[in-house]
Amino acid sequence: MANILCIGAGYVGGPTMAIVAKHCPHHRVVVVDSNATRIAAWQSADLPIYEPGLEEVVLGARDRNLFFSTEVNRHIAEADVIFVSVNTPTKSFGQGAGKAADLQFWEKTARQILENSTSPKIVVEKSTLPVRTAEAMEYILNSNTRGLHFDVVSNPEFLAEGTAIRDMEQPDRVLVGGRETPSGQKAVEVISEIYANWVPKERIIATNIWSSELSKLAANAFLAQRVSSINAIAAICEKTEAHVVEVAHAIGLDRRIGPNFLKASIGFGGSCFQKDILNLVYLCEYYGLYEVANYWEQVIKMNDHQQSRFVSNMVSTMFNTVAGKRIALFGVAFKANTSDTRESPALNVCRALLEERAELVLTDPHALANARADLGALAQRITFEPDPYVAAKGAHAIALLTDWADYAKLDYSQIYQNMVKPAFIFDGRNLLNHRQLHEVGFNVHAIGKPPLTHSANNGYAGNQRF
C-alpha cells in the first residue's frame, strides 16, 4: 500500500484523485487544500464542483480509501507520493505580468513539502507549468541537509471539464516524464504503475521530463488554435453566405484534419487555454523566439476578436443600440456540463453588453453562483434567473452563450410569445434549430451562417457581401 497525497482540491485534484482511489483500493489517497471551505464541501453531500459522474465516484471511495483534509503538514509527512495540483494563474504583477505563470503557490508548496518530510518522496507535477519548472522544484527539494532524496515527475492532466470522469477513466494517453537517472526512472515506474490499475499499458507513455512539461502546453495550444482557426473561417462565412458548420464538416472528413474541435463559437474559455498559451508565448520570448511568440499570441487575439465581433453584430443588428433593452443571456459557464466560469467568453460578452448599457438577465443551470462572484460589482447591474423562460420574458433578444443541451429542448414558440418584437436570437454556439426558430418568428443570427431575418434590411452587416 502506498500513501498518495494530492495538494490542491480543485477541478483537477479532486476528480483525478477520486478516480485514482476508485481504481486503487489498495492505496490510501488523501486530498488536502489550504481552503477549509473547499475541503468541507468535498466532505459533504454538496461537492464543490459540478462534474457529471463525479458524485458517484467520490461517494464510492470517500472514507474508504479517499480522504479530504486541511492538515497539509501531517499528510505530507505520511505520504510516499505527492501530486501537486495547486493553481498556477497568469502572473498579474512584475516581470512577465499578463503572460508568465505565477509560481508562488507552487514554490510555497515545494517548501512546505520540504519542511514536513522525514522520508524520501516522489513529487508529481500535476499543475500546468512552464517548461523546466521541475528543475527548480528539484533544486528546492534536494537542498535539504537531512539526506532526503526527492524525485520530481511530470504527469500533466489532459482531462476536460464536463467530461473529466470519462477522460480519466479512458484517457487517450497518460504522460509520465522523469529524469533519465535510475531513481528518476524508478519514480516514472511507480507513477505508471498507479495508472496501470485501469489504463492499458500502451497508453501510458514515458518521456523525458521536459517533453512532458512542454507536451501539455503544446496540446492546449493546438486545441485552442483549432477553435481560433474555425472561428476565423466563421468570420469569412458570415460575409460570404458560406455555412461554417458545412465547411467544418467538409474539412473534418479529411483524416489529416479530423472532425473534433471544429465547432465555431463565441470563443474558447476555461482556466487552461489562455493561460497556457500566454505561458508558451512568454517562454518563447524568454528564449528570444519572437516570431514564434507572435504566432501563438495570434490564437488569443483571434479569440478576443470573436467575442467583440459577436457583440458588435448584436448591437448593429438591434438597430445600433441596446441601451435599456432587456437581453437574456443563456449560459455563462465556459462550456456545457460544468459550473466553471473561469475565462468564460460569456462573461466578456456580458461585460461588453453592460458597457452598451443593456439590461441583462443571466441564466445558467449550474454556474450562476460562480458568475456572480466573477462579475464583482457589475453583478448588481444584472438579474440572475435560473429559469430561462422567465429570463427571456420581456426581452428584446436572447444570446445563447453556453452549449447546454437543454437549451436546444426549450419551447421557443412559448418564449417568442413573451418577448418584445421584433425578437432576436443570437446563437453563439450554433446549438439551436435555426430554421425552426425563424419559422416561430425570430430573427436568427448564428456564428458563421447567413442570418435568417424577417426584414430585408435590418442593418446586419453580414447581409452586405464584400
Query: By CB under 6 A, is residue 158 in contact with ligand UDX?
Result: yes
Query: By CB under 6 A, is residue 15 in contact with ligand UDX?
Result: no
Q: How far apart are the first and last CA of the chain?
A: 68
Provide CB contacts within 8 A for 325, sequence distance 6+: 318, 358, 359, 395, 396, 397, 420
Nearer to ligand UDX, 300 or 423 (CB): 300
Near ligand UDX by CB under 6 A: residue from 90, 127, 339, 370: 127
Q: Given the C-alpha cell 467544418, which residue does it identify? A: 248
Q: Could you write out the three-class secondary structure of 314-354?
A: HHHHCCCCCCCCEEEEECCCCCCCCCCCCCCHHHHHHHHHH
**Considering only CA atoms, which of 26, 30, 62 is closest in space to residue 47?**
62
Q: Are 256 and 328 in contact (CB under 8 A)?
A: no
Query: By CB under 6 A, is residue 279 in contact with ligand UDX?
Result: no
Interface segment toward ligand UDX; rule CB under 6 A; list 264-272, 352-360, 414-422, 454-462: 264-272
Residue 414 phi/psi, 5-degree rounding, is: -65, -45
Residue 427 phi/psi, 5-degree rounding, is: -95, 100
Nearer to ligand UDX, 157 or 213 (CB): 157
Near ligand UDX by CB under 6 A: residue from 272, 328, 349, 358: 272
Q: Which of 24, 272, 284, 350 is catalytic?
A: 272
Nearer to ligand UDX, 86 or 437 (CB): 86
Q: How near is the Cβ of 212 to ligand UDX at its closest, in Å?
A: 13
Q: What's the rounded Cα separation, in Å, for the pair 37 and 1?
A: 30
Q: How near is the Cβ of 65 to ligand UDX at its closest, in Å?
A: 21
Q: What b/e string do you get for 32-71 counting C-beta neighbours within 10 Å, with b at 16 or more? A: bbbeeebbebbeeeebbbbbebbeebbeebeeebbbbbbe
Near ligand UDX by CB under 6 A: residue from 47, 59, 77, 160: 160
Identify residue 233 by its one-letter amino acid code: I
Near ligand UDX by CB under 6 A: residue from 4, 5, 6, 10: 10
Nearer to ligand UDX, 88 or 133 (CB): 88
Interface segment toward ligand UDX; rule CB under 6 A; list 31-39, 192-200, 382-390, 432-440: 31-39
The grid coordinates of residue 218 equal 503544446
Q: What's the rounded Cα separation, in Å, for the pair 441 and 417?
A: 9
Q: Which helix (H) or strand (E) covers residue 154, if one does?
A: strand 150-154
- The four Cα atoms 333, 335, 336, 342 give a dihedral, to 10 degrees, of -40
Q: What's the rounded Cα separation, in Å, for the pair 217 and 277?
A: 7
Query: By CB under 6 A, is residue 229 in contact with ligand UDX?
Result: no
Near ligand UDX by CB under 6 A: residue from 31, 66, 79, 88: 88
Nearer to ligand UDX, 3 or 35 (CB): 35
**Considering only CA atoms, which of 2, 212, 206 is closest in space to residue 127?**
212
Near ligand UDX by CB under 6 A: residue from 34, 116, 316, 458: 34
Query: By CB under 6 A, is residue 407 in contact with ligand UDX?
Result: no
Residue 141 phi/psi, 5-degree rounding, is: -65, -40
Query: By CB under 6 A, is residue 223 in contact with ligand UDX?
Result: yes
Distances (CA, A) of 340 to 67, 291, 334: 24, 33, 6
Nearer to ligand UDX, 65 or 271 (CB): 271
Interface segment toward ligand UDX; rule CB under 6 A; list 30-38, 170-178, 294-302, 317-325: 30-38
The footprint of ligand UDX on this chain (CB under 6 A) covers a number of residues equal to 41
Q: What's the rounded Cα separation, in Å, for the pair 368 and 346?
A: 12
Q: How near is the Cβ of 396 to ligand UDX at its closest, in Å?
A: 26
Query: By CB under 6 A, is residue 271 in contact with ligand UDX?
Result: yes
Q: Is 272 a catalytic residue?
A: yes
Interface segment toward ligand UDX; rule CB under 6 A; list 4-12, 117-125, 420-428, 437-445: 4-12
Q: How near is the Cβ of 176 to ligand UDX at its closest, in Å?
A: 15
Query: By CB under 6 A, is residue 337 in contact with ligand UDX?
Result: no
Q: How near is the Cβ of 362 to ligand UDX at its closest, in Å?
A: 17
Q: Which residues bind ligand UDX (CB under 6 A)?
A: 7-13, 33-35, 38, 85-88, 105, 108-109, 126-128, 157-161, 220, 223, 227, 261-263, 265, 268-273, 334-335
Active site residue ranges: 272
